[in-house]
Structure 1
Amino acid sequence: MMGMEILMNVTPQETRVALVENGVLVELNLERARGFGLVGNIYKGKVNRVLPGMDAAFVDIGLERAAFLHASDVAPAHHEALPEGEEVAREPIQRLLHEGQEILVQVIKDPMGTKGARLTTHITIPSRYLVLLPDNSVVGVSTRIEAETERERLKTLLGQLQSETTAKPGLIARTAADGATHDALKQDVEFLEKLWQSIDERAKQAKAGSEVYADLPLSLRILRDMAGVTLERVRIDSRETLQKVTEFANRYMVELLPHIEHYPGERPIFDLYNIEDEIEKALDRKVELKSGGYLIFDQTEAMTTIDINTGGFVGHRNLEETTFKTNLEAAQAIARQLRLRNLGGIIIVDFIDMTQEEHKRQVLRALEKGMEKDYARSQICEVSPLGLVEMTRKRTRDSLAHQLCEPCPTCGGRGYLKSAETVCFEMFREILREARQFDAQELLVLASQSVVDLLLDEESASVAQLQEFIGIPIRFQVETLYTQEQFDVVPV
């Protein structure tokens, strides 16, 4: 059985990293030379505006749009470690920040659409096994490490390592720290301490609105975050990146070294598992299921909806059985597509109605099981009385469609156009309006090919009637650059 494989396709303009599981693409990450992801980057910011009504502030970090900092993400000046489960009473934003103030901030959400980046002043710096919290002194363990004995071992170890540091920063064990040795954790702490010192020095000298620290490039970040996952191999089609990845692995992930290899093939690396085709499919609304059924994905501002149809699947013995089989297959496909498309926020799944409670339970279980391998946190609710499943998936970066596409300039993202017939009737109303207003000898109508064709063919009798009514001739001219909805009526 094949395991997890990473393929890296690198060009000077773009790095694309594909995660392939058992020969199937499950996740795609990309980073372009322009517009890198900003999550994890640290900036010296300047408070632009304090908004008491929103309990937040806008901060200039040198980007096109001001970034957003909510009061809940502002650390109090002297932050003591609190016992687990306790929270510090929060001050209102106007007590925490003032306009013109310079602060060190970290991006926790990339700018998306019209929204600026989201910030925090709780700085965290991750390494392979740990996360360092320079303004805190907490010692914690990721909740995904469940064994009580391992949690205790790590807490004790981290407490010991923290006491050996000069600044006594907070340390949290990541999921990958499960089973890590004392020496491995010690190395991480030393690396993080050095890194924080250099960030701190740079921050003191930096001008407001400038970057102080950028997270690792995608090719290295993906390996750091995959720590603890057994990788069969990492194939890279660029010698330069191969060298950087090998150096990084040599320093932090020695066990990965034998699995890293250069891909010198004639065929592009992403042709290996039909990855380019899979990316194309992940941008479509419709996803075909093997049984003949299909899914329809619709991404809106507020949520993503997924509709399931039996399509050409005539199925087994009866309707309930057909429905159940299609829904089961759909649940597995949805789990994969959510990860591949990187869809986040609220997701509503409209499964085909099932009558048997046991079938509903099994479909829900199949969806939960499919989501287990996903790194993004998700929450799935029970089937609602209307047969819908509501779920959320944590969103930290833009979806694949938002990264690779832009709204259609013709329809402006609506997904449909006014029909040629509708435009003709709008035009008739405009002609009547203009004929009354202007003393013209003739009216010139500029429109798209499809609209002019309709006017001269099916609507020619209406045009003749209209000419007779207004008493002046109407001349039509095709404007090739006009969309179907655009037209002009010009008095001549």
Structure 2
Amino acid sequence: MNKIVIDSGFSQSRVALLENGELVEYYIESKNFKRIVGNIYKGRVKNVLPGMQAAFVDIGLEKNAFLYVKDAIPQEILYDKKKTFKDILIKDVIKNGQEIIVQVTKEPMDNKGARVTTHLSFPGRYLVLMPNIDYIGISRRIEDKDERARLRKIVEEIRPKGMGLIIRTESENKEEKDLIEDLKYLLKLWHKIEKEKKLGFPPKILYKDLDLIYRTIRDFFTEDIEELIINDKENYNAILEFLDLISPKLQDRVKYFDPGINIFSYYGIEKKIKEALSRKVWLKSGGYIVIDKTEALTSIDVNSGKYVGVNDLSQTIIKVNKEAAKEIAKQIRLRDIGGIIIIDFIDMENKKYEQEILKLLESELSKDRVRTNVLGMTGLGLVEMTRKKVRKRISSILEKKCPYCNGLGMVLTPETVINNLENELKRISLHTNSEAVIVNVNKEVGRILNGDMKEYVERLENALNLKIFICKDDNIHSNDYDVKYMGRLNKVKDILKEIDSK
């Protein structure tokens, strides 16, 4: 049973897509920070970079957007097999200071600005309108040849002259009137933008894509979804009105949920989100996968873990690898991992098994809406694949870099902290007249210094001629220590008594 669960809060909207009870896609949008993919801007070219075959465009954001030559040239060149864009220079397409209409295709990420294109497109329920190219496309997910031919014939008749249309998967088995109504809605948007782009100076926003909840209804709420549950009455009523325009048959599947209960906890989604942030993901067999992100790529390592099989080692390996392939495809989709991905399956001596794993991985990835490409297995037995980057991955939305470990995910060992403290105490002994110090340390470091390393502290005191009082403090980070007081021994002892009395 497939469901969409929407948590509409005061600060955030969250959407979870469940397939047979499993969380397969998760989206989050802050009420204060909206996504910009799909937005259309009137911008100004700030800097043409011939060496990079690209340009920077000011669209009114903190960082200039990036426009690659492929996204700047007329679309008909891209769709004409007799022509190639590789010989076209960016400086011959656009100039510094030029006004230009662009659409955002990728969110700003890390230190990079948004990526934009001049190839505008407007997604509707059943069709995608491309106003600047004479073209007809059809979703590969519509596999029936007769249905493809029927839809293409309808679109050829209703398509405005000189414009392009892509037939979306949801168009399958729909009547001509449904496609016509969808096209009317998209043309209204385009005509509105045509008027807006003639007014005002760049940078200026011309079109803002739907927010998360309405995009969910447009793009995900199909006949395959049995229920859509939302915990906000106002949005519940608005969804029903929206569906009345685009798909009235689905109105009965929309359910209102009591806002007094945590809707994500009720459906077990909160727990699944935490699992999606974990570096290690356990498999049902007892094996596990480890997901690590680097600057250049994401690596996924498969391990047999607790699973030892029964008799045949090769069958044990293939079982874990098959289970891992399914889980990896799910995790890539759920975490929204993009870019280069390297997968290290458990070594398989039989080439037949390797092909089985690759086919299974490709089959599972075919469920993903985002384009993926499995390149095959390298000589080292690693699977190379890519996935289109569209938005930030879940981890970067829900988590931030640790201010203590600078994003390494590691902290100093107690021994390292103790060594750092020793150097500080040597400095105090050498450069001050202090007879004693009170040092606050993390609980674990304090336990070691007052326990197994008590003799070490005594040797240090004798060597430095400095009385050292160790105090455990829950508020001290495990990497740190704090020399709280230093001075005459009697004075330090008095301060220590005051601390103990509190």
Normalising to structure 2: TM-score of the pair? 0.85
Alignment counterpart, residue 385 of structure 2, candidates 375, 391, 395: 391
Q: For the structure 1 residues 445 and 389, does the alpha-carbon distance in structure 2 shift closer, same or farther, using more than 3 Å as the test? A: farther
Instruction: Provide the C-alpha distance between the structure 2 equivalents of 1:22 and 1:91, rounded to a whole number of angstroms.
Output: 49
Secondary structure in 2 aligned to 1:224? helix
TM superposition shift of 1:351: 1.6
Q: For the structure 1 residues 317 and 251, does the alpha-carbon distance in structure 2 shift closer, same or farther, using more than 3 Å as the test? A: same
Q: For the structure 1 residues 229 and 117, does the alpha-carbon distance in structure 2 shift closer, same or farther, using more than 3 Å as the test? A: farther
Moved more, 454-463 or 354-363: 454-463
- Equivalent positions of 1:269-348 (< 5 A) are 269-348=263-342
Instruction: Provide the C-alpha distance between the structure 2 equivalents of 1:144 and 1:295, rounded to a whole number of angstroms.
Output: 30
Moved more, 67-76 or 261-270: 261-270
Q: For the structure 1 residues 259 and 463, does the alpha-carbon distance in structure 2 shift closer, same or farther, using more than 3 Å as the test? A: closer
- Equivalent positions of 1:52-201 (< 5 A) are 52-76=50-74, 83=80, 86-88=83-85, 91-163=88-160, 168-201=162-195
Letter in 2 for 1:99: N
C-alpha contact (below 8 Å) 1:106/1:120 kept by paired residues: yes
- Match in the other structure for 2:224: 230
C-alpha contact (below 8 Å) 1:445/1:487 kept by paired residues: no
- Match in the other structure for 2:23: 25
- Equivalent positions of 1:31-46 (< 5 A) are 31-46=29-44
Q: Does 1:208 align with 2:202?
A: yes
C-alpha contact (below 8 Å) 1:304/1:348 kept by paired residues: yes
Secondary structure in 2 aligned to 1:223? helix
Secondary structure in 2 aligned to 1:157? helix
Letter in 1 for 2:212: L
TM superposition shift of 1:178: 3.3
Secondary structure in 1 aligned to 2:198? helix
- Match in the other structure for 1:382: 376
- Equivalent positions of 1:432-451 (< 5 A) are 448-449=441-442, 450-451=444-445
Secondary structure in 1 aligned to 2:32? coil
Letter in 1 for 2:9: T
Q: For the structure 1 residues 211 and 475, does the alpha-carbon distance in structure 2 shift closer, same or farther, using more than 3 Å as the test? A: farther
Question: Cα deviations across residues 364-385 of structure 1 (Å, max 9, x unaligned)?
Answer: 3322222222212212233334
TM superposition shift of 1:272: 4.2
C-alpha contact (below 8 Å) 2:226/2:253 kept by paired residues: yes
Instruction: Provide the C-alpha distance between the structure 1 equivalents of 2:190 and 2:416, rounded to a whole number of angstroms.
Output: 63
TM superposition shift of 1:63: 2.1
- Match in the other structure for 2:11: 13
Identity %: 38
Normalising to structure 1: TM-score of the pair? 0.87
TM superposition shift of 1:87: 3.7
Secondary structure in 2 aligned to 1:231? coil
Moved more, 83-92 or 470-479: 470-479
- Match in the other structure for 2:365: 371
Letter in 1 for 2:41: Y
Instruction: Provide the C-alpha distance between the structure 2 equivalents of 1:445 and 1:214, rounded to a whole number of angstroms.
Output: 60
Letter in 2 for 1:401: S
Q: For the structure 1 residues 455 and 124, does the alpha-carbon distance in structure 2 shift closer, same or farther, using more than 3 Å as the test? A: same
Letter in 1 for 2:116: L
Q: For the structure 1 residues 82 and 332, does the alpha-carbon distance in structure 2 shift closer, same or farther, using more than 3 Å as the test? A: closer
Instruction: Provide the C-alpha distance between the structure 1 equivalents of 2:459 and 2:92, rounded to a whole number of angstroms.
Output: 72
TM superposition shift of 1:182: 2.5
Question: Cα deviations across residues 195-236 of structure 1 (Å, max 9, x unaligned)?
Answer: 111122223324423322111121221222136552212222
Structure 1 unaligned runs (5+)? none
TM superposition shift of 1:413: 1.0
CA RMSD of aligned residues (A): 3.2
Question: Cα deviations across residues 439-469 of structure 1 (Å, max 9, x unaligned)?
Answer: 7667969664355665566556666666666
Letter in 2 for 1:101: Q
C-alpha contact (below 8 Å) 1:81/1:138 kept by paired residues: no
Aligned residues: 485
Instruction: Provide the C-alpha distance between the structure 2 equivalents of 1:158 and 1:85, rounded to a whole number of angstroms.
Output: 25
Question: Cα deviations across residues 242-266 of structure 1 (Å, max 9, x unaligned)?
Answer: 1121111111112212222222386
Secondary structure in 2 aligned to 1:414? coil
Moved more, 405-414 or 223-232: 223-232
C-alpha contact (below 8 Å) 2:70/2:85 kept by paired residues: no
C-alpha contact (below 8 Å) 1:72/1:90 kept by paired residues: no
C-alpha contact (below 8 Å) 1:44/1:206 kept by paired residues: no
C-alpha contact (below 8 Å) 1:80/1:137 kept by paired residues: no
- Match in the other structure for 1:358: 352
TM superposition shift of 1:31: 1.4
